[in-house]
Amino acid sequence: MTAGARPRTRGFVGHDGILLTADVWGEASSPPLVLLHGGGQTRHAWHRTGPRLATLGWRVVAPDLRGHGTSQWSAGGDYDLGLFAEDVRALVAALGGRPVLIGASLGGLSALLAAGEAPRAAIRALVLVDVAHRPDPHGVRRIVDFMRHRPEGFASPGEAAATVSAHLPHRPRTDDIEGIRRNLRRHGDRWVWHWDPRLLDSFEGRTDPPGMAERLLAAARHADVPILLVRGGISDVVREDIAEQFCDRVPHARRVDVADAGHMVAGDRNEHFIDAIIPFLEGIG
């Protein structure tokens, strides 16, 4: 399989019967690995990571989380973190084979709760991509403000791409309009982001709710698997001191930084991200 191989599409059933769409790369006989994107993204955030990991011998599954991409939206607009964790448990049970979970931001938080709170998902290892037990509120506010920006949408995918470039000035500007288009949907004669706008109601005011840091640390300690925290070297969401504190309080966790990457590590520096996780993946057998 080449790094540019097109994925297969597969459906899964999440918690309470919600339908989830996933891209799959790799051989059916290979060990499973699940890529979980961040809030406001889609499975296409992993369009370069998935095929590369498949060439390394993994069966890679990248779902759209509920309310994102072509997965179903929550009927009542409920996007509590616990529901995302239940979806991860359902995915793990459907795949079998004790998959590795790699989760960015919201995907990482969901994976952490699924792995560390009862009933604990049967996984082999956990990679947290620029997420720990406590975010920097200024970084989170910047992301939420971007998600709230331009509710009317865009005239074209190119206009959306220009908006992303302004939001991420550290990232080289891309001409990959098709990549942006996969994260948009048509709404009349406009293009809007491919996620349920009601997600923002769940995010608003809940960036660091009382007791959440302790809950996440407890989940990390109870997750009886190796944990790797991959921090973006210039992230404004996971500060260096918070990453250090997480690893100090979770004995089986270790950390690696990806230089010149912000919060969206794989999107910013995909090859460096893969280089950072390969030793960890090789070490878990």
Q: Above 60 in pLDDT, residue 4?
A: no
Dihedral sign computed on CA atoms, order 54, 23, 129, 126: negative
Mean per-residue pLDDT, 5-24: 96
DSSP one-letter string for 101-139: EEEETHHHHHHHHHHHSSSPP--SEEEEES--SS--HHH
Helix (H, G, I), strand (E, B) or coil at 162: helix
Mark out the alpha helices in 168-238 (DSSP H runs). 177-181, 199-203, 212-222
Quick one: angle between helices 240-249 and 212-222, nearest 10? 50
Q: What is the pLDDT of residue 175?
A: 64
Bond from prior residue into 119 cis (ω within 30 degrees of 0): yes
The rounded distance, in Å, linking the Cα atoms of 45 and 270 is 10
Mark out the alpha helices in 6-136 (DSSP H runs). 49-55, 81-95, 106-116
The rounded distance, in Å, linking the Cα atoms of 138 and 151 is 21
**Do strands 227-232 and 8-13 pair parallel, antiparallel, or not at all (unpaired)?**
unpaired
> How large a percentage of the chain has pLDDT more than 70?
94
Q: What is the pLDDT of residue 107?
A: 98
The rounded distance, in Å, linking the Cα atoms of 111 and 222 is 13
The overall average pLDDT reported for the chain is: 93
The whole model's pTM is what?
A: 0.93
Provide the total of helices (H) and of strands (E) in the chain, helices listed first.
11, 10
The rounded distance, in Å, linking the Cα atoms of 79 and 101 is 20
Q: Above 90 in pLDDT, residue 270?
A: yes
Mean per-residue pLDDT, 41-64: 97
pLDDT confidence bin for 192, thresholds 50/70/90: very high
Q: What is the pLDDT of residue 204?
A: 63
